[in-house]
Chains A and B, each alone.
Chain A
């Protein structure tokens, strides 16, 4: 029986990683657009929101899938992680609530309420980004307390917000036109600088907050094997900068390149983190094997996931194709 040989905990660990990566990239550009919102005029804001309107809901579902797999496959780590991140999680949830409902209320409310919901859209997007960065930092440091660790959490929080702003601005380069696109190019140049600095600072700080990670990266000859990762990240950042500048000079070719390279920056950073943390779910305390659910439960979900996940990917692709090209103002088609 092939089924008996499947390493289900490992499969679910990989699936969870992919779900989180998908969330960070997909809702990353949504949140990034939200973070950039106050920099635009009212008309441009409507267009910015229109560019993510059809997608944000499904994008946010990847977060539910990520935490869902944590819950389904690793119930013994689920409680430890979420109760250790209690305040950060609450902050993120409230921020996501405000951001999510603001999509609706910012156009359906009337008078000054509209402007208030616009502000909350921004506050929610920024708050969610920072909270997610702080959660990530909490996981990296194994939830340790102290001034240094608080500073590290804030650093990662701001760094992630910068990364989301990069995804958001390069997304807008693809989806918008004219003045707004020109602004998005400018924001992108600023954001890529911030992101590069953030990634560098976090990469340098991480080994110091956690000895095991130092060991994993800076022992010979591992360092040699791992060297391409930071180099590729740097190359991608440089590529984003160059392509943004070329687009600003009037080139209309390869508008999608900055966004795709930004995605790669996230993939590289994710790979580095995954390498640093594996096989722990709670650093130095609980590995994914120790936290795994019973085999019959994993099998039950695995069978469903094999059938359903390809379908989900297919209709997600379908939805992006439906809304392909430059964004138009949101309309119910009347």
Chain B
């Protein structure tokens, strides 16, 4: 149904928010890596630090710009695509977004200017402080937007007056039941995304120029972060899943492909959920696995989709996006621990592992997107779980308008994504070739720093 305005509006918003999340999931953690590098440089560290900082601050600036422009688009699309959401839930969603703008956006945007271009103009400590404030800003932004997102998943602290939601208890709104888990899960996901990007790009540099010291060091930084965070993420993910089981059992039923309530539910490794006949085709499973993971008992009871009438999410996309996320996670765990093992034993990453890291440079993106699809499609058919359905909030903008703008966004975002990945690779290779900072480009027309931005 290509002419269904609701589906088009969801596709458009989904496209935009999916494109957007790619960049914050890099910058939230990369900001802290830059703080670390900047502090070490300030303390008179080794020569490689300055090289590494120079490359990664460029990557940060580029990623940040892409995050900003797609974020602005999002702030408008709440109104253009979901006017009903703001009408009904604006009293709660509005202030949370308002605090994000006030406490995070201005802070990070203003001090980013100082951080990027103010190095000659402010004292060293002030420059370090600017990097720190940018990192605070990106993390604060994540705090508020995840508070809102979590509230949409597990709404608390509100009352309904004349069909509109009113905040009764702001503390309960912000610290709703799924918020701590989601915030932790996302912050660690950002750490992993940045870690694999750093490791991957550094591996690429080492393939071009073996023994390139800044890349050797940064590869190590990436692997250490990934190897430490990966098991923590698995633990947090498990807790997050238990939390979801408690508050959004329909989402868990879709994730596990459980059509009928059962005890000792199997863990499906592979299956094609069949929505028409409400069963799984071609299932390969571990007996009692799902019950064990989710209830920590072999014959624990799990609610099936049959308990929710037609108020449950579509099973296929939720089921598969979850498996993609876990699958990528397993690969990330294996590679980062293998790398860590070599670092501990041989103090060096063997050259034949480098293509693996390079191939996994953007693996964090895949996991983040898959996880996000699981969470948000898993929330359907509601926009605020159990309270407001998505269909109620759609706009009456004609379908052709939505289709036209959807195609425009798609073209622009595709162009930007390709440009981003190409430019990132070029920046890294240029740096490895040793002319990342010299005036070699077009007829020396660029003043020294134009390279910067």
Contact A78 B423, CB 8 Å, known A54-B114, A329-B449, A332-B117:
no
Chain B neighbourhood of A67, CB < 8 A = 75-76, 79
Cα–Cα distance between A265 and B122 once the two chains are bound (Å): 34
Q: Which of A53, A73, A75 contacts B113 (CB 8 A)?
A: A53
A-B contact pairs, 6 of them (CB 8 A): A76-B86, A76-B87, A90-B405, A97-B69, A300-B170, A331-B117
Residues of B at the A interface (CB closer than 8 Å) are 50, 54, 57-58, 61-62, 64-66, 68-73, 75-76, 78-80, 82-84, 86-87, 90-95, 97-99, 101-103, 105-107, 109-114, 116-122, 127, 164, 166-167, 170, 395-397, 401, 404-405, 408-409, 412, 416, 419, 422-423, 426-427, 437, 441-442, 445-453
CB distance from B293 to the nearest CB of A (A): 39
Interface check A334, CB cutoff 8 A: yes
Taking a contact as CB atoms under 8 Å apart, the answer to whether A83 and B397 are in contact is yes
Interface mask (A34-74 → B, CB under 8 Å = 1, otherwise 0): 00000000110011011001110110110111011111110
Cα–Cα distance between A100 and B70 once the two chains are bound (Å): 10
A189-197, A268-276, A308-316 - interface stretch: A308-316
Cα–Cα distance between A97 and B71 once the two chains are bound (Å): 10
Contact A94 B412, CB 8 Å, known A76-B87, A331-B120, A332-B449:
yes
Q: Rank and list the top 10 A-B pairs by shortest CB-CB distance, nearest first.
A: A79-B83, A331-B449, A333-B119, A75-B90, A82-B79, A329-B447, A54-B113, A72-B94, A100-B69, A58-B109
CB distance from A103 to the nearest CB of B (A): 6
Closest residue of chain A to B447 (Cβ to Cβ) is A329
Cα–Cα distance between A294 and B412 once the two chains are bound (Å): 38
Taking a contact as CB atoms under 8 Å apart, the answer to whether A64 and B105 are in contact is yes
Chain A neighbourhood of B449, CB < 8 A = 50, 328-332
Closest residue of chain B to A120 (Cβ to Cβ) is B415
Taking a contact as CB atoms under 8 Å apart, the answer to whether A297 and B118 are in contact is no
Closest residue of chain A to B426 (Cβ to Cβ) is A110
Interface check A86, CB cutoff 8 A: yes
Interface residues of A in 292-328 (CB under 8 A from B): 293-294, 296-297, 300-301, 304-305, 308-309, 312, 315-316, 318-319, 322-323, 328
Taking a contact as CB atoms under 8 Å apart, the answer to whether B112 and A57 are in contact is yes
Taking a contact as CB atoms under 8 Å apart, the answer to whether A331 and B110 are in contact is no
Q: Which of B94, B119, B441, B445 contacts A332 (CB 8 A)?
A: B119
Chain B neighbourhood of A215, CB < 8 A = none
Chain B neighbourhood of A93, CB < 8 A = 72-73, 76
CB distance from A326 to the nearest CB of B (A): 13
Taking a contact as CB atoms under 8 Å apart, the answer to whether A107 and B54 are in contact is no
Taking a contact as CB atoms under 8 Å apart, the answer to whether B441 and A71 are in contact is no
Q: Which of A53, A68, A108 contacts B62 (CB 8 A)?
A: A108
Cα–Cα distance between A94 and B107 once the two chains are bound (Å): 24
Cα–Cα distance between A78 and B80 once the two chains are bound (Å): 9
Taking a contact as CB atoms under 8 Å apart, the answer to whether B86 and A75 are in contact is yes
CB distance from A125 to the nearest CB of B (A): 13
Taking a contact as CB atoms under 8 Å apart, the answer to whether B98 and A68 are in contact is yes
Taking a contact as CB atoms under 8 Å apart, the answer to whether A107 and B452 are in contact is yes
Taking a contact as CB atoms under 8 Å apart, the answer to whether A82 and B76 are in contact is yes
Cα–Cα distance between A238 and B28 once the two chains are bound (Å): 49
Taking a contact as CB atoms under 8 Å apart, the answer to whether A293 and B109 are in contact is no
Chain B neighbourhood of A61, CB < 8 A = 101, 105-106, 109
CB distance from A79 to the nearest CB of B (A): 2
Interface mask (A76-109 → B, CB under 8 Å = 1, otherwise 0): 1011111101110110011011101101110111
Cα–Cα distance between A46 and B451 once the two chains are bound (Å): 10
Contact A68 B110, CB 8 Å, known A83-B397, A331-B120, A331-B449:
no
Taking a contact as CB atoms under 8 Å apart, the answer to whether A319 and B114 are in contact is yes
Closest residue of chain A to B393 (Cβ to Cβ) is A79
Determine the interface band of chain A, counting residues with CB < 8 A from chain B: 35 or more
Q: Which of A60, A80, A83, A105 contacts B423 (CB 8 A)?
A: A105
Taking a contact as CB atoms under 8 Å apart, the answer to whether B110 and A332 are in contact is no
Cα–Cα distance between A72 and B405 once the two chains are bound (Å): 25
Residues of A at the B interface (CB closer than 8 Å) are 42-43, 46-47, 49-50, 53-55, 57-58, 60-61, 63-65, 67-73, 75-76, 78-83, 85-87, 89-90, 93-94, 96-98, 100-101, 103-105, 107-110, 113-114, 293-294, 296-297, 300-301, 304-305, 308-309, 312, 315-316, 318-319, 322-323, 328-334
Closest residue of chain B to A317 (Cβ to Cβ) is B110
Chain B neighbourhood of A312, CB < 8 A = 102, 106-107, 110
Chain B neighbourhood of A103, CB < 8 A = 65, 453
Residue among B58, B70, B75, B76 with max Cβ neighbours from chain A (10 Å): B76
Taking a contact as CB atoms under 8 Å apart, the answer to whether A64 and B70 are in contact is no
Closest residue of chain A to B106 (Cβ to Cβ) is A312
Cα–Cα distance between A67 and B65 once the two chains are bound (Å): 19
Chain A neighbourhood of B422, CB < 8 A = 109
Q: Which of B73, B87, B446 contacts A107 (CB 8 A)?
A: B446
CB distance from B426 to the nearest CB of A (A): 6
Cα–Cα distance between A296 and B157 once the two chains are bound (Å): 13
Cα–Cα distance between A88 and B452 once the two chains are bound (Å): 33
Chain A neighbourhood of B93, CB < 8 A = 71
Contact A82 B83, CB 8 Å, known A294-B164, A331-B120:
yes
Cα–Cα distance between A90 and B408 once the two chains are bound (Å): 9
Contact A322 B76, CB 8 Å, known A46-B450, A83-B83, A86-B401:
no
Taking a contact as CB atoms under 8 Å apart, the answer to whether A75 and B94 are in contact is yes
Contact A46 B445, CB 8 Å, known A54-B114, A86-B397:
yes
Taking a contact as CB atoms under 8 Å apart, the answer to whether A329 and B448 are in contact is yes
Cα–Cα distance between A75 and B167 once the two chains are bound (Å): 14
Cα–Cα distance between A261 and B68 once the two chains are bound (Å): 31
Taking a contact as CB atoms under 8 Å apart, the answer to whether A87 and B446 are in contact is no
Cα–Cα distance between A70 and B253 once the two chains are bound (Å): 39
Chain A neighbourhood of B122, CB < 8 A = 322
Taking a contact as CB atoms under 8 Å apart, the answer to whether B73 and A97 are in contact is yes
Cα–Cα distance between A274 and B419 once the two chains are bound (Å): 42
Closest residue of chain B to A105 (Cβ to Cβ) is B419
Taking a contact as CB atoms under 8 Å apart, the answer to whether B445 and A42 are in contact is yes
Chain B neighbourhood of A55, CB < 8 A = 113
Cα–Cα distance between A103 and B445 once the two chains are bound (Å): 17
Taking a contact as CB atoms under 8 Å apart, the answer to whether B97 and A329 are in contact is no
Cα–Cα distance between A330 and B118 once the two chains are bound (Å): 9
Chain B neighbourhood of A64, CB < 8 A = 71-72, 75, 101, 105
Chain B neighbourhood of A71, CB < 8 A = 75, 78-79, 86, 90, 93-94, 97-98
CB distance from A268 to the nearest CB of B (A): 27
Taking a contact as CB atoms under 8 Å apart, the answer to whether A304 and B111 are in contact is no
Closest residue of chain B to A42 (Cβ to Cβ) is B445
Cα–Cα distance between A109 and B421 once the two chains are bound (Å): 11
